[in-house]
């Protein structure tokens, strides 16, 4: 089993986690995206717990957290019922700082985050 978000593949005998339960399965609010973005949803976000209301502890900006992922067509696709789901491709590169909304997330931070996620899965 492989997670389509963090690309963690559990070794034999280890439970691991599926995409649905990935610890970093947090995407930017689709209602807050620019209208020309293919992931944009029109209307108002009514979820009071949505990431667009949260404050990032790293950069102190409101609208994302440290682990909020950008919705890009390289990593995500829109289903027929307008849900954003991860792309499933064997050639998907590992996550890096460009995949996160927070501009202060460095590649080193991302590698450390992925290592800790994999350690939790063991």
Tens-level pLDDT at each residue, the chain (122 residues): 788 999 988 888 887 888 899 999 999 999 999 999 999 999 999 999 999 999 999 999 999 999 999 999 999 999 999 999 999 887 889 999 999 999 999 999 999 999 998 887 65
Q: Model's pTM, two decimal places?
A: 0.89
Structure tokens at 77: 């696709």
The C-alpha atoms of residue 18 and residue 79 are separated, in whole angstroms, by 19
Helix H or strand E segment including 116? helix 107-121
């Amino acid at each position: 089993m492989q997670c389509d978000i963090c690309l963690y593949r559990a070794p034999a005998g280890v439970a691991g986690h599926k995409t649905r339960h990935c610890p970093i399965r947090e995407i930017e609010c689709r209602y807050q995206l620019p209208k020309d973005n293919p992931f944009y949803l029109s209307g108002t976000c009514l979820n009071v717990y949505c990431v667009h209301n949260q404050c990032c502890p790293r950069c102190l900006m409101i609208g994302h957290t440290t682990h909020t992922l950008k919705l890009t067509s390289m990593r995500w696709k829109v289903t027929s019922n307008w849900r954003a789901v991860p792309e499933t491709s064997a050639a998907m590169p590992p996550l890096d700082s460009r995949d996160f909304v927070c501009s202060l997330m460095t590649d080193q931070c991302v590698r450390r985050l992925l290592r800790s996620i994999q350690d939790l899965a063991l």
